[in-house]
Chains A and B, each alone.
Chain A
């Protein structure tokens, strides 16, 4: 659009000079040349005015172009077009809405909020309110998020995503009953909502309703069969139920989907250890270390293995390595304390448990009170 103007100007100048030269000789010719110039201009956007397009139509064209850029991940260009559209059509609420989406992508939340508010003012729809709630979500403004989501549901109680986000919010508040209710509503509106099934399952897990957790993780996996984290969660639910074989099967599936998903390896190793399969557990942790030699959790896992094998010297070594890699690994301090105690390094063991407690490992407290009272 704007590229045409410089070219048109240059041409015009040239024709004017030419016209001056020929003005006296041929006025008609000059007029013709001028008409030609105008015709040339008709190929650019600005010429559409001359082609009898209304401002609304121009705005629509700009809007469509903007949408095109937005869908192709070019929010900056999209913003310019939406802005133009709004110049021609100031009450174009869709332009405000989509410009808001552009600002969200660019993480410019104040501008996003301004635009979405404008959109809402023009048309208070559930989608606009939901978008507004996303802005609060990204800014971690929980109160505003809650209010806006609830507003969305007033307009449309079956808004699947709004219900889902409310579920998440209440999960974070540890109000699991409310979380359950909203996740279920999300699923009612969208029966293949894999993430909602996953989160619903997690809520059941927090309420120690393992059977329902498993059931919903299975459904999440059915609708999103390529998401490793869902299988990992499923594995953990089986592990809590002490169905170790199924847990390991789920973790293995997670690993198959993403063989750099170290979390699943660690969980699998922990499960095998609980089951008594020390060899299998060791293998899991060693695999992680092969791929990620600086993985503190894996070294801590090996510390656990050696504790079970009563090789306390090795256990201490592994736990020490875990701590070197991550000085905030409270579990590693805890395990090193166990190893040190059995090596008769009692004072050092107590120091480790104190450190573990400071790092939030509350089970260390009982060891400190019984074994370190001297």
Chain B
């Protein structure tokens, strides 16, 4: 007997692990009441569990209570693991699934698959591949085989990307933005001053639960940048939010247009609202060119507002949700939607499309390409008429779980996205990613005495490569339009002109309540900007950006002057050949604007004056400026303006408006001005 006991004990010890313990009386002598309670909890949990995946998290508390009583039941551990795998706390499934297998390797036909899942979610790539490969021997259905092979591929991608993690800081946006409920789909203005996002928290419009998901309905919430943090988020309210699902989809770069998703409409459709003063307008359906009976879920405008990129799972795509685009014609209507093509779209789902304000870089989420699990964020650029092969943004931005809705700020240095796998306040949270670029190398005080006689120490600096950061080549121009006399903010139209091609690229409006405007100017063009409002003289600005001009933010407040005697404007988009009075073609747009102003105000008489900097003799500058003023006047006369309304005057260098000691100052002094002499 003694030998048998020793043998049994040895066998148990050699096993080294707990055995599967069923919820039976014989296993819990003298604990009948506790046992019954545990079994009761399991039963309650099962009832909820059987309602479907949406309810798994409600079954969890019951299972966990039973688990407290008996932590060594294989089936219970397996169910708890499954519940966690279908929640936003997927990583917690790890211990339970592995324990379930240890307790009973035959606990479930799919146990090896789920072991693969938990290893996968924990980035243990080799172990995950091992388990996935093992379960290939047991499954028969083509779909399941395809799924497992896909997951093996994802693990292989994960292994490769793990070798070169991206240097980033990932910071939770804090309790002002996140809650224990889900927050996702952040949308941000180019200058990061306004953040909107979708949340399934209580307190929304309607404040109702979606029974199918056991979560509150989606609503759009908004938060504003204050210093380096975001303010307490508030519900955007009606009319944008309704009693159904309303999700934030995209903001135009200037923050004046908002696209939302409404889930209760036509399979899920996209709507647009406009910011009028401080109020958002009632969302309008984007129409048939965009919305179908299928699911349209996310969208993004191009920088000039002329193309809308969006996601749909309509028929005729490459599989699942795909990215499409539709151009906006001159009448503001959408042209036919076109699939963006197989370079970007895969047989799996694409989602969360986001176009950068630089006009050529796109971010999107995909379950295809070389995703390492679920949705991953990818980047592609439009070059030479086509999209480049999408590049995975890498670890830790991408994880084995879903990572989507990536919105990069205009500076290119920060991005916002939602993730469920980083802890946080519960569910999906919003995070800010700061992209650090490659590791910065230290500089040391090395020294050499290169010349023997003088023994002059010469310091050798180790010149480092510039930090490579995804930095768009563009200028962010923002400011306030206001009345020059009263300082009241004004709503005005800003026309963005390509001076070389003499075309209006885009039109924007400043906000009626605040006068604020925001325009993005991709590098590589000579831009004219004309700010117009009825009753006022137009304001002219010029930005000549070389192709390699780096990202910069320029704040320029714009005063508008009324059409009154004595008011003067500087015409910054009038160009002459060097040392001559010949008008260059890039000037015609501005001059035509002048013609229009004079035509619409037939009684005003004006002086067109030309000025030079101080280089060259006084006499020469006088002559040149007079000729230039006459060139402008001749152009206007040629366009039908009566000569007796126009005076051409050259002032040479006699009326500088800036210093002549710097090139910038001299450039400001070389100008053409327009002054109202009389209005009768």
List, in ascending order, chain B residues with CB within 8 A of A202's CB.
Answer: 448, 450-451
List, in ascending order, chain A residues with CB within 8 A of B457's CB.
Answer: 263
Contact of B445 among A168, A230, A329 (CB under 8 A): A329
Tell me how far the C-beta of B229 lies from the nearest C-beta in chain A, rounded to whole angstroms: 12
A188-224: which residues lie under 8 A (CB-CB) from chain B?
194-195, 198-199, 202, 205-206, 220
Say whether, besides A233-B450, A334-B443, A369 and B553 are in contact (CB < 8 Å): no
Q: How many angstroms between the C-alpha atoms of A296 and B415 in the bound complex?
A: 39
Let me know if A199 and B451 touch, CB within 8 A: yes
At the interface with chain A, which of B140-148, B466-474, B535-543, B589-597?
Answer: B466-474
Query: Which residue in chain B gives the minimum CB-CB distance to A179?
Result: B451
Let me know if A195 and B452 touch, CB within 8 A: yes
Contact with B along A290-305 (1 / 0, CB 8 A): 0000001100110110
List, in ascending order, chain B residues with CB within 8 A of A206's CB.
Answer: 450
Say whether, besides A236-B446, A304-B444, A168 and B453 are in contact (CB < 8 Å): yes
Let me know if B471 and A168 touch, CB within 8 A: no
Let me know if A270 and B450 touch, CB within 8 A: no
Let me know if B446 and A199 touch, CB within 8 A: no
Q: How many angstroms between the C-alpha atoms of A297 and B460 in the bound complex?
A: 13
List, in ascending order, chain A residues with CB within 8 A of B460's CB.
Answer: 236
B260 interface residue, CB < 8 Å from A?
Answer: no
B426-464: which residues lie under 8 A (CB-CB) from chain A?
436-437, 440, 442-455, 457, 460-464
List, in ascending order, chain A residues with CB within 8 A of B453's CB.
Answer: 164-165, 168, 195, 199
B550 interface residue, CB < 8 Å from A?
Answer: yes
Tell me how far the C-beta of B471 lies from the nearest C-beta in chain A, rounded to whole angstroms: 7
The B interface is mostly helix, strand or loop, or mixed, namely loop
At the interface with chain B, which of A1-9, A25-33, A48-56, A360-368?
Answer: A360-368
B257 interface residue, CB < 8 Å from A?
Answer: no
B536-585: which residues lie under 8 A (CB-CB) from chain A?
550-551, 553
Q: How many angstroms between the C-alpha atoms of A266 and B462 in the bound complex?
A: 14
Q: How many angstroms between the C-alpha atoms of A307 and B464 in the bound complex?
A: 15
Contact of A338 among B440, B462, B463, B466 (CB under 8 A): B440
List, in ascending order, chain A residues with CB within 8 A of B445's CB.
Answer: 266, 296-297, 300-301, 329, 331-332
Query: Which residue in chain A gives the minimum CB-CB distance to B169?
Result: A344
List, in ascending order, chain A residues with CB within 8 A of B449's CB.
Answer: 229, 232-233, 263
Q: How many angstroms between the C-alpha atoms of A362 and B463 in the bound complex?
A: 9
Contact of B451 among A171, A344, A362 (CB under 8 A): A171
B360 interface residue, CB < 8 Å from A?
Answer: no
Q: How many angstroms between the C-alpha atoms of A296 and B445 in the bound complex?
A: 9
Contact of A270 among B413, B446, B471, B551 (CB under 8 A): B446
Q: How many angstroms between the C-alpha atoms of A236 and B461 in the bound complex?
A: 12
Query: Which residue in chain A gives the minimum CB-CB distance to B454?
Result: A168
Say whether, besides A199-B450, A370-B413, A297 and B444 are in contact (CB < 8 Å): yes
Contact of A369 among B443, B450, B462, B550 (CB under 8 A): B550
Q: How many angstroms between the C-alpha atoms of A150 and B461 in the bound complex?
A: 34
Contact of A373 among B413, B446, B448, B466 (CB under 8 A): B413
B411 interface residue, CB < 8 Å from A?
Answer: yes
List, in ascending order, chain B residues with CB within 8 A of A304's CB.
Answer: 442-444
List, in ascending order, chain A residues with CB within 8 A of B411's CB.
Answer: 373
B31 interface residue, CB < 8 Å from A?
Answer: no
Q: How many angstroms between the C-alpha atoms of A309 and B315 in the bound complex?
A: 55
Tell me how far the C-beta of A297 lies from the nearest C-beta in chain B, rounded to whole angstroms: 4
Contact of B444 among A198, A199, A300, A341 (CB under 8 A): A300
A335 interface residue, CB < 8 Å from B?
Answer: yes
Q: How many angstroms between the C-alpha atoms of A230 and B450 in the bound complex?
A: 8
Query: Which residue in chain B gives the minimum CB-CB distance to A273?
Result: B444
B228 interface residue, CB < 8 Å from A?
Answer: yes
Let me know if A363 and B437 touch, CB within 8 A: no
Let me know if A363 and B446 touch, CB within 8 A: no
List, in ascending order, chain A residues with CB within 8 A of B469's CB.
Answer: 370
Tell me how far the C-beta of A110 lies from the nearest C-beta in chain B, rounded to whole angstroms: 23
Let me know if A229 and B442 touch, CB within 8 A: no
Let me know if B442 and A335 touch, CB within 8 A: yes
Contact with B along A337-357 (1 / 0, CB 8 A): 010010010000000000000
Let me know if B446 and A267 touch, CB within 8 A: yes
Let me know if B553 and A236 touch, CB within 8 A: no
Contact of B446 among A168, A266, A344, A370 (CB under 8 A): A266
Let me know if A270 and B444 touch, CB within 8 A: yes
Contact of B467 among A198, A263, A367 (CB under 8 A): A367
Query: Which residue in chain A gives the minimum CB-CB distance to B551?
Result: A373
List, in ascending order, chain B residues with CB within 8 A of A199's CB.
Answer: 450-453
Let me know if B437 and A361 touch, CB within 8 A: no
Query: Which residue in chain B gives the minimum CB-CB distance to A240?
Result: B460
Q: How many angstroms between the C-alpha atoms of A198 and B454 in the bound complex?
A: 12
Tell me how far the C-beta of B571 lies from the nearest C-beta in chain A, rounded to whole angstroms: 32
Say whether, besides A168-B454, A373-B411, A363 and B471 are in contact (CB < 8 Å): no
Let me know if A229 and B443 touch, CB within 8 A: no
Say whether, besides A304-B443, A334-B443, A363 and B451 are in contact (CB < 8 Å): no
List, in ascending order, chain A residues with CB within 8 A of B553's CB.
Answer: 373
List, in ascending order, chain A residues with CB within 8 A of B455's CB.
Answer: 229
Let me know if B452 and A266 touch, CB within 8 A: no
Say whether, besides A168-B454, A195-B453, A229-B455, A370 and B448 are in contact (CB < 8 Å): no
Q: How many angstroms between the C-alpha atoms of A364 and B132 in the bound complex?
A: 49
List, in ascending order, chain B residues with CB within 8 A of A232's CB.
Answer: 448-449
Query: Which residue in chain B gives the minimum CB-CB distance to A335?
Result: B442
Q: How many angstroms between the C-alpha atoms of A149 and B551 in the bound complex?
A: 52
Q: How many angstroms between the C-alpha atoms of A202 and B446 in the bound complex?
A: 15
Let me know if A361 and B443 touch, CB within 8 A: yes
List, in ascending order, chain B residues with CB within 8 A of A367's CB.
Answer: 440, 467
Q: How many angstroms between the C-alpha atoms of A371 and B506 in the bound complex?
A: 31
Interface centre among A329, A344, A374 (most CB of B within 10 A): A374
A107 interface residue, CB < 8 Å from B?
Answer: no
List, in ascending order, chain B residues with CB within 8 A of A75's CB.
Answer: none
Q: How many angstroms between the C-alpha atoms of A341 and B443 in the bound complex?
A: 15
Query: Which residue in chain A gives the minimum CB-CB distance to B437?
Result: A370
Q: How many angstroms between the C-alpha atoms of A167 and B555 in the bound complex?
A: 53
Let me know if A370 and B442 touch, CB within 8 A: no
Tell me how far the C-beta of A361 lies from the nearest C-beta in chain B, rounded to whole angstroms: 7
Query: Which residue in chain B gives the minimum CB-CB distance to A338?
Result: B440
List, in ascending order, chain B residues with CB within 8 A of A171's CB.
Answer: 450-451
Q: How many angstroms between the C-alpha atoms of A233 and B455 in the bound complex?
A: 11
Tell me how far the C-beta of A341 lies from the nearest C-beta in chain B, rounded to whole angstroms: 8
List, in ascending order, chain B residues with CB within 8 A of A233's CB.
Answer: 448-450
Tell me how far the C-beta of B171 lies from the nearest C-beta in chain A, rounded to whole angstroms: 9
Let me know if A229 and B466 touch, CB within 8 A: no
List, in ascending order, chain B residues with CB within 8 A of A301's CB.
Answer: 444-445
Q: How many angstroms between the C-alpha atoms of A361 and B462 in the bound complex?
A: 10
List, in ascending order, chain B residues with CB within 8 A of A329's CB.
Answer: 445
Q: How many angstroms between the C-alpha atoms of A248 and B294 in the bound complex?
A: 69
List, in ascending order, chain A residues with CB within 8 A of B447's CB.
Answer: 263, 266-267, 297
Query: Which residue in chain A gives the minimum CB-CB distance to B447?
Result: A263
Say whether, besides A266-B446, A361-B461, A366 and B451 are in contact (CB < 8 Å): no
A66 interface residue, CB < 8 Å from B?
Answer: no
A308 interface residue, CB < 8 Å from B?
Answer: yes
Tell me how far the C-beta of B134 lies from the nearest C-beta in chain A, rounded to whole angstroms: 38
Q: How many angstroms between the C-alpha atoms of A202 and B464 in the bound complex?
A: 22
Tell me how far the C-beta of B477 lies from the nearest C-beta in chain A, rounded to whole angstroms: 15
Q: How many angstroms between the C-alpha atoms of A267 and B442 in the bound complex?
A: 14
Query: Which residue in chain B gives the minimum CB-CB distance to A365?
Result: B466
A114-171: which residues lie under 8 A (CB-CB) from chain B?
164-165, 168, 171
Q: How many angstroms between the C-alpha atoms of A334 and B461 in the bound complex?
A: 12
Let me know if B467 and A366 touch, CB within 8 A: yes
Contacts A171-B450, A344-B169 supplied; 17 other A-B pairs, CB < 8 Å: A164-B453, A168-B451, A171-B451, A198-B451, A202-B450, A227-B452, A236-B448, A263-B448, A263-B449, A266-B445, A297-B447, A300-B444, A331-B443, A331-B444, A366-B466, A369-B550, A371-B436
Give 9 pairs: A residue, B residue, CB < 8 Å, sorted on A. A205-B450, A232-B449, A266-B444, A270-B444, A304-B443, A338-B440, A338-B442, A363-B443, A366-B464
Closest 9 CB pairs of A and B: A304-B442, A297-B445, A202-B450, A195-B452, A366-B466, A270-B444, A331-B443, A229-B449, A198-B452
